[in-house]
């Protein structure tokens, strides 16, 4: 039986520490980190996420600004709003919930966000900085996964990590971050041949394929650490349930450690969003980013170099 990686508990601890740092900023620097979240359309799942992000930002002592735009909003309107938020000194981080409706060009929108306020880490400047190993805003989901891995395993150097999925939001940045931590990284996807055999070689398996219960127990090397990024809503016994890209029951018999869905990567994603907002605030006000929060985030081992 594998160890369950408690993302919910780790996210709570991280958010509490972020909350302490926010109150320190408010007291000593008279700065309140501000997070702006833009939601286009009425997708019920997106509404839940956006509400959770806003609530948790406020619980951490941040200001939260929410913008809900109609599904039919013209692209220019959205770009105007982003331009306004770029200039707003009360807003330190801007998140545009993806996906966007077809009349809006996603990459235009992402590039309109000022890189310093791009707490999602999707702007090409931040993508480039992360890929070249420099300092940049890392996307929240892969960052959360990396924190869970560091907490579980400590040093990741030399481990074979297989990332299943190649999206710009998870797969590609996950591969960059794991490389930075000296893993041997394989990025596998739907066209990969012998997918099962590739997965079986992983010491670390990050499943972000977007396919319900794709990864079975016999795709996993005994003792491997498995991070399940999938969020799939399925109907079971007349009720909606959330399941991952990993077949939890069979994986549990083989993996050394495994994240559950829900309660794994999801809560860490939101905690990392707040962490990025805090970091963006510090950078914009030229305040040093507190060390203790870095060590909490990275499991106490932040002294690695090349």
Ligand X SMILES: Nc1nc(=O)c2c([nH]1)NC[C@@H]1CN(c3ccc(C(=O)N[C@@H](CCC(=O)O)C(=O)O)cc3)C=[N+]21
Binding site for ligand X (CB under 6 A): 48-49, 52, 95-98, 120, 140, 231, 242, 261-263, 266-267, 269-270
18 annotated as a binding-site residue? no
Question: Which one of 10, 21, 118, 120 is the catalytic residue?
Answer: 120
Whole-number Å distance between alpha carbons of 246 and 260: 9
Question: Which one of 53, 117, 172, 221 is the catalytic residue?
Answer: 53
User: Which of residues 54 and 95 has its CB atom nearest to ligand X in the complex?
Assistant: 95
303 annotated as a binding-site residue? no
Residue 97 annotated in active site: yes
Question: Which one of 10, 97, 152, 180 is the catalytic residue?
Answer: 97
User: Which of residues 188 and 261 has its CB atom nearest to ligand X in the complex?
Assistant: 261
User: Which of residues 138 and 214 has its CB atom nearest to ligand X in the complex?
Assistant: 138
Whole-number Å distance between alpha carbons of 209 and 165: 4
167 annotated as a binding-site residue? yes
Q: Which residues contact 223 (CB under 8 A, 6 or more apart)?
A: 255, 256
Residue 53 annotated in active site: yes
Question: Nearest distance from residue 305's CB to ligand X, in Å?
Answer: 30
Question: Nearest distance from residue 288's CB to ligand X, in Å?
Answer: 26
Question: Nearest distance from residue 77's CB to ligand X, in Å?
Answer: 18
Residue 120 annotated in active site: yes
User: Which of residues 49 and 298 has its CB atom nearest to ligand X in the complex?
Assistant: 49
Region class of 7: left (phi > 0), else alpha (psi between -120 and 50), else beta: alpha
User: Which of residues 256 and 263 has its CB atom nearest to ligand X in the complex?
Assistant: 263
Question: Nearest distance from residue 88's CB to ligand X, in Å?
Answer: 19
Question: Nearest distance from residue 167's CB to ligand X, in Å?
Answer: 11
Going by the annotation, the residues of the binding site for NADP(+) are 165-167, 231
The set of catalytic residues is 53, 97, 120
Going by the annotation, the residues of the binding site are 165-167, 231
């Amino acid at each position: 039986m594998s160890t369950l990686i408690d993302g919910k508990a780790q996210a709570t601890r991280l958010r509490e520490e972020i909350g302490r740092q926010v109150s320190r900023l408010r007291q000593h620097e008279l700065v309140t980190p501000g997070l702006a979240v833009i939601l286009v359309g009425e997708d019920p799942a997106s509404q839940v996420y956006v509400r959770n992000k806003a609530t948790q930002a406020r619980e951490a002592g941040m200001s939260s600004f929410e913008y809900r735009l109609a599904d039919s909003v013209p692209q220019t309107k959205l770009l105007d709003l982003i331009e306004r938020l770029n200039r707003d000194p009360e807003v330190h981080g801007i998140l545009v919930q993806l996906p966007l409706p077809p009349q809006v060009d996603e990459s235009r929108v992402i590039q309109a966000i000022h890189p310093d306020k791009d707490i999602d880490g999707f702007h090409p400047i931040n993508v480039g900085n992360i890929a070249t190993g420099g300092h940049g805003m890392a996307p929240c989901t892969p960052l959360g996964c990396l924190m869970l891995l560091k907490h579980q395993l400590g040093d990741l150097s030399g481990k074979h990590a297989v990332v299943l999925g190649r999206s710009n939001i998870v797969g590609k940045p996950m591969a960059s971050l794991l490389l930075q931590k000296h893993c041997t990284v394989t990025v596998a996807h739907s066209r990969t041949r012998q997918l099962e055999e590739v997965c079986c070689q992983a010491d670390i398996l990050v499943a972000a394929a977007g396919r319900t219960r794709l990864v079975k127990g016999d795709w996993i090397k005994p003792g491997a650490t498995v991070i399940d990024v999938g969020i799939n809503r399925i109907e079971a016994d007349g009720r909606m349930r959330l399941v991952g890209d990993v077949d939890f029951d069979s994986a549990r018999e083989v993996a050394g450690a495994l994240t559950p869905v829900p309660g794994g990567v999801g809560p860490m994603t939101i905690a990392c969003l707040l962490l990025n907002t805090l970091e963006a605030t510090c950078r914009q006000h030229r305040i040093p980013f507190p060390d203790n929060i870095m060590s909490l985030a990275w499991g106490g081992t932040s002294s690695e170099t090349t």
